[in-house]
Amino acid sequence: MQLGKDFIKALKQIETEKGLPIDIIASSLEAAMASAYKKYKNGSQVVEVHLSLANGEIALSEKYQIVEEVTNPDSEWTVNQAREQGHGDLEVGDFAYVEVNPENFGRIAAQTARQVIIQRLKDAERQIIFNEFADHIGDMVLGSIFKAEGDQILVRVNDRTDALMPKEERISSEAYLPGERKKFLLLDVRKTTRGPRIIVSRTHPGLLKRLLELEVPEILEGTVEIKSIVREAGARAKVAVRSLDMNVDPVGACVGNAGARIKSISDELGGERIDVIIWSDDAMQFVRNALSPARVAKIEPVLEQENSLRVFVRQDQLSLAIGKAGQNVRLAARLTGWKIDIKVIEPERLPTLHDLFDDIIKSTGESLWEDLPKE
């Protein structure tokens, strides 16, 4: 059976343009031809197909095993049957191959070849897309909002690829309008029967980390290190940083001149407020820093509870320490890994005249109040 040199030329062109190896196409064609022939014969033949990449010729053979007693006439012969077919030198256990060229099978073969190539091209495209994105999980990508599909937003990340942003990966306060361009974190890439399933996120802490790396050269250079990030996406985030150079202020580097750097990141995240604090390996100091902008008066461990600290603030700092709906203390606890119990410290006061007299009474055991003139 002849497919022709033009067919092989076309396969080689596909190999060049699509990056799909011609030997993979050839092996797929051989398997598909064998399957198509069995359907054509409507039997249980054992079929082997060989495609010559030199001239486009297809050799199709039925394979028979030599047995003592035939149980499947489509794939077995006795020694006598083999001799009748011109295979007199075969014994039980050997195999005989009979090349076949059935009428009308050429059309079926051509159609099968077309279907295989189309499917292989689809598979190759999917594999290329998978490989392109699978190596970049955790990176930031730029995409445009394409359309909403149920609880998911479709994001076009390049000319041929759409990603999904599930509801839980969206910033609830953001409106996602078609054509709007935003930055996303590439969260996951999975193979499915319909092609790669690419998931992006706007809420993951990794997106804030990538934005900081983009905006703050000291982080990308390694002078400033991000130790921990927590977010309540769209509302507030806390970032713990430290400097590996004593001459570099890590908070100042992240915030930028007049707050320009952190404002740029905040604007990208829909106005999310970002607290940058200094990381410390001293748990109490780290918690003190994490509760910023509140000023902490005193911290002490809660001995009866593991990883728990009691934090004292003055009355005027209580609302700052707790934050709106508990947001500040909640984020500080997540950032540091410590349970934080906020308490108000009683204000100190100067002793009154009454207090002084009481102290004298307690020290002398006598009551001076009785000697005071009565009105």
| Closest CA relative to residue 300, chosen from 309, 290, 291, 313 | 309
CATH class of the domain at 5-132? alpha beta
C-alpha–C-alpha distance, residues 8 and 22, integer Å: 9
The angle subtended at Cα 264 by Cα 262 and Cα 269, nearest 5°, is 95
Q: What are phi and psi of 256, to 5 degrees?
A: 85, 170
Q: Beta strand 152-158 with 140-149: parallel, antiparallel or unpaired?
A: antiparallel
Full 3-state SS string of the chain: CECCHHHHHHHHHHHHHHCCCHHHHHHHHHHHHHHHHHHHHCCCCEEEEEECCCCCEEEEEEEEEECCCCCCCCCEECHHHHHHCCCCCCCCCCEEEEEECCCCHHHHHHHHHHHHHHHHHHHHHHHHHHHHHHCCCCCEEEEEEEEEECCEEEEEEECCEEEEECHHHCCCCCCCCCCCEEEEEEEEEECCCCCCEEEEECCCHHHHHHHHHHHCHHHHHCCEEEEEEEEECCCEEEEEEEECCCCCCHHHHHHCHHHHHHHHHHHHCCCCEEEEEECCCCHHHHHHHHCCCCCCCEEEECCCCCCEEEEEECHHHHHHHHCHHHHHHHHHHHHHCCEEEEEECCCCCCCCHHHHHHHHHHHHCCCCHHHCCCC
- Superfamily of segment(s) 136-201: Nucleic acid-binding proteins (2.40.50.140)
Q: Which residues of 87-119 are buried (b: 16+ CB within 10 A; e: fewer)?
A: beebeeeeebeeeeeeeebeeebeebbeebbee
Where in the chain are all domains bearing CATH 3.30.300.20?
205-279, 283-375
Give the pLDDT score at 295: 94
Give the pLDDT score at 2: 58
Calculate the CA 18 to chain-centre distance: 27
Give the pLDDT score at 151: 81
Provide the CATH topology of domain 283-375.
Answer: GMP Synthetase; Chain A, domain 3 (3.30.300)
Q: Which two tokens stand for residue 226?
A: 């991000």
As to burial, measured by CB atoms within 10 angstroms (0-12 exposed, 13-18 middle, 19+ buried), residue 69 is exposed
Give the pLDDT score at 282: 94
Provide the CATH topology of domain 205-279.
Answer: GMP Synthetase; Chain A, domain 3 (3.30.300)
Give the pLDDT score at 336: 96
Mean pLDDT by 10 residues, the chain (375 residues): 70 76 80 81 84 81 91 90 87 89 69 74 79 91 88 87 93 90 95 88 97 96 96 96 95 95 95 96 95 94 91 94 95 96 78 64 56 54
Q: Which two tokens stand for residue 105?
A: 């099978």
Q: Which two tokens stand for residue 300?
A: 């002490």
Where in the chain are all domains bearing CATH 2.40.50.140?
136-201
